[in-house]
Structure 1
Amino acid sequence: MTYRNSTPIRPPLPVGLRRFVARLPVLLFRVGLGRVFGQRLLLLHHTGRMSGQSRQVILEVVAYDPAHGTWIVASGFGPKAAWYQNLRRQPQAVVQIGNRRYTVTAQFLPPEEGGAIMARYAPRHPRTARRLCAFMGFSVDGSERSFREVGQSVPFVRLAPTTAQSLP
């Protein structure tokens, strides 16, 4: 795996029209249209680490384990992403899939597990995996090894239900 420079370039946070477009799915979830995203996106309700106020962010589901009812998400903006830091401070949160809500606890995965997850994700979604890697500043050659190395550099979080709930 090679980087554009010597280290991965973290993408800039969207502003203006790009931020509005990026936040549009949140509005769709709020008006009850979250089901249009199926199981691919979730809305994470979490608590701001500084303000203590409720925050929301849309995240792509990298993997779902129906046996345990857990979702795995990645922080494309790295460990400095606000939602990631907020979960580090307060790991209890709520996820919304479609129109259903689940109380979850965030579990932060080690780099080796992140590498394995990315190596499994890339063959299932090859174009998306390449675009995500490019967006995050990584250059991959399409091999399992290169995606595994990217996965070891990206923070992954498992969102596990805190109580027995009826899961999708």
Structure 2
Amino acid sequence: MTVYIRDTHPPRGFARILWRLPLWLYRLHLGWLLQSRFLLLTHIGRKSGLPRTTVLEVIRADKTAGKYTVFSGWRKQSDWVKNVEKTPQVKIQIGNHSFHAQTTRPAPEEAEALLLAYAARYPHLLRLVLRLLGYQTDGTEEDLRAIAHHSIMVTFEVLPPGTGGNV
């Protein structure tokens, strides 16, 4: 049974440096090393109106449909989530390829299916990440469905060329 055991917050100090390592790879033009497992998100700050960047792990990449789905570990506490809710037009970079995209939220049933598929591919990694995010879970399908309903997922849908956004 899933138990949310503690509120967690984005890391600080040395842990923040480790979590931001993929961002530095992108800044050093080495994003191609991450392939399609991570994407660089450029979004507009909801208060400042300035471009902001973060790197997110992709839990599903549908390259033919141009859809990339990510999971927000810190739910609504994540600044990027608040920012894309206000301004859903973003820019994403996967490896060396950049695209303008529109954000959407998957339906609850789709979110469940996405998390279950991710758990099937990376069971040990998912358990570790969930523990870091404050969950105590036995990894059952029922637990993962509950986590999917409690969490936030965002899908980035690539826009056709020439229909770029404001990022």
Q: TM-score, normalised by structure 2?
A: 0.90
Note the C-alpha offset of 1:139: 2.0
* Aligned equivalents of 1:113, 1:106: Cα separation in 2: 15
* Aligned equivalents of 1:10, 1:95: Cα separation in 2: 29
* Aligned equivalents of 1:131, 1:113: Cα separation in 2: 23
Establish whether residue 2 from structure 1 lines up as the match of residue 2 from structure 2.
yes
| Stretches of structure 2 lacking an aligned partner (at least 5 in a row) | 163-167
Q: Which amino acid aligns with 2:93?
A: Q
My pick for the range that moved more, 22-31 or 48-57, is 22-31
Establish whether residue 35 from structure 1 lines up as the match of residue 32 from structure 2.
yes
* Aligned equivalents of 1:162, 1:115: Cα separation in 2: 25
Establish whether residue 105 from structure 1 lines up as the match of residue 125 from structure 2.
no
How many residue pairs match? The answer is: 162
State the identity as a percent: 33
Note the C-alpha offset of 1:17: 1.8
* Aligned equivalents of 1:137, 1:164: Cα separation in 2: 40
* Aligned equivalents of 1:66, 1:60: Cα separation in 2: 15
* Aligned equivalents of 2:109, 2:51: Cα separation in 1: 32
Displacement over 6 Å in runs of 4+: none
| Stretches of structure 1 lacking an aligned partner (at least 5 in a row) | none
Note the C-alpha offset of 1:164: 4.8
CA distance 1:46–1:3, change in 2 (3 Å): same
* Aligned equivalents of 2:68, 2:123: Cα separation in 1: 20
Aligned to 1:128: 125
Q: Which amino acid aligns with 1:88?
A: E
* Aligned equivalents of 1:140, 1:18: Cα separation in 2: 23
Contact 1:75-1:84 at 8 Å conserved across structures:
yes
Q: TM-score, normalised by structure 1?
A: 0.89
User: What pairs up with 1:9-158 in 2 under 5 angstroms?
Assistant: 9-158=6-155
Contact 1:133-1:150 at 8 Å conserved across structures:
no
Contact 1:74-1:157 at 8 Å conserved across structures:
yes
Q: Which amino acid aligns with 1:154?
A: S
* Aligned equivalents of 2:21, 2:2: Cα separation in 1: 33
Note the C-alpha offset of 1:76: 0.4
Note the C-alpha offset of 1:10: 3.3
Note the C-alpha offset of 1:113: 2.1
Note the C-alpha offset of 1:4: 4.7
